[in-house]
Structure 1
């Protein structure tokens, strides 16, 4: 697999998003998860992204087991800042971030992580205070660098001026294009890696059409509820047919589209299945002609998806800037 930069690290051009390992999109088990992680490593994926709330520690524990039993040394990223509950709230205080980081390190079986994200920004807490906390964690060797997630370009610029930001992680795919309105450009300008999460549209850009989701995460998401779900599925089916005509898998084509939007972009698709992972591993080898790109733009133009990408219950800490 080709490589890209993530801070000072050279990592596989495709990373691994480990949200699914926490059971967020359906039940999983240790053997299946370890098999998926093994397949990722064997394919040249060296950047693994998790968070404290993915299964309330299950994803990190699974990765910790994998690291302990395999002896690999990948680049590990995790996150904290979202406090689960009803309603969901955000806590970027130093005591909270420190305690959650220590718990993550214990589950991962590590004394540091390479990248630590603020999972969501706490709007009322001064950014200077938050970046100060992260800077101290870097100085102490607890984290190699810090990142920010679901933020606006202005927040990145302000944070980076206090201490260089290693990565910004926002949702970006063929059906979620907001980062093109400033965040991707700001990352390129500042030398910050843009990490694209959900680049396969939470499973919509897979090899077969999804059944109407019943899991708690997607089941209340406007894009996955009717009538938007059926309309979105029909639009993506035409793209799926185009991919078959070209001899590409749907997921690899969607990832290739993301990769070709900038050398500083690092997509992190996720899966619980080694078989599904293999569908998208050739993404960094696909090269679009001008005709291919025009056809994709015709089939799935910017803004084609119906419905908001989050329900109101999921919007805490998401910065909107357009």
Structure 2
């Protein structure tokens, strides 16, 4: 597996997104999650990226159980988790980047994962009321305490990254980035390259749109997140499925699965980009690995962008409610 860097650490160019170890995109089992992690270890995927809120701790607990069942596996892994999304007294979603909250949540994550330290700890959502320098300082003190080795931020603007990085090196920024979501190219991709920060790309296969088997309407209707998401509601869903048909045909012509081509394209967007697709399927994970091993020529990249040009996707990536938290910067 090709290698890239997150801070001082060398990691596989492809990571595993831990959201699929919960029921976010459909019911799963510990057995399924273990099988994906087993294959990841077998093929040399070393970066595992999760969060305390994925299944309200379930993803971390599953990873922790797998580590316990595989003595010695921790030494070869780069484990990241996130915190900062919580609920207020009325049960409404809010964000808390305070030192006490972030440390307490990290302590809970370490317990569920069964480790003394994580390699990367992100603020899952930046709390706008707190200056970025303070958030970076809060996370940096957790590095000093030995509870994490590097810090990251998620869904932030380039200006926020620059301010935070001036206080403490930001090893990674996590952002949605794929052929269907290209906003990071409007400053974030460039800022990360300039500062030596990895861009950890979540949903690199467009929440299934950029695969040979997009989620069925039935599966979408069962997902709390997708059934209201603009890209997965009509008439946008039908329009998007029509658009990706050409992409699937191009992938087949190139001898790749659609998911593999989507991953390969993402990796070709910069040596600091690390996609972290999530899946409940070993077969699908093999397709993702295929993409990490593929090499695309300039001519092939141009053909991909001809089939799916910038801005092709119908519908915003989030609803108004889902947009609460991520920073818009363009």
Does TM, normalized by the shorter one, top 0.5?
A: yes
Q: Which residue is 1:5 aligned to?
A: 5
**Alpha-carbon separation, structure 2, partners of 1:149 and 1:29:** 27
Q: Distance in 1 between matches of 2:183 and 2:45?
A: 26
**Matching of residue 124 in structure 1 with residue 132 in structure 2:** no
- Superposed, 1:18-33 pairs within 5 Å as 18-33=18-33
**Which runs of 5 or more structure 2 residues have no equivalent in the other structure?**
none
Of 93, 96, 113 in structure 2, the residue corresponding to residue 91 of structure 1 is 96
**Aligned-partner SS, 1:11:** strand
Find the counterpart in structure 2 of residue 179 from structure 1.
Answer: 184
Question: How far apart are 1:131 and its partner, in Å?
Answer: 1.6
What is the aligned partner in structure 2 of residue 285 from structure 1? 293
Q: Per-residue deviation at 1:291?
A: 2.6
| TM-aligned CA deviation for residue 84 of structure 1 | 4.8
3-state SS of the aligned residue for 2:326?
Answer: coil
User: Aligned pair 1:109/2:111, yes or no?
Assistant: no
Distance 1:152 1:33 in 2: 32
- Contact 1:6/1:167, CA 8 A, preserved across alignment: yes
Aligned to 1:160: 165
Contact 2:133 2:166 in 1 (8 A): no
CA contact (8 A) 1:53 1:84 kept: no
Candidates 243, 255, 263, aligned match of 1:255: 263
For this pair of structures, how many residues does the alignment match?
322
TM-score after normalising by structure 2? 0.95
Q: Is the 8 A contact 1:209 1:237 kept in 2?
A: no
Query: Equivalent of 2:80, from 58, 77, 80?
Result: 77
Structure 1 match to 2:198: 193
- CA shift at 1:127, angstroms? 2.1
User: Secondary structure in 1 aligned to 2:211?
Assistant: coil
What displacement does 1:200 show? 0.7
Post-superposition offset of 1:43: 1.2
- CA distance in 2: counterparts of 1:17 and 1:258, whole angstroms: 15
* Residue aligning to 2:37: 37
Q: After superposition, where does 1:34-73 map in structure 2 within 5 Å?
A: 34-71=34-71, 72-73=73-74
RMSD of aligned C-alpha atoms? 1.1
C-alpha separation between the residues in 2 aligned to 1:84 and 1:292? 46
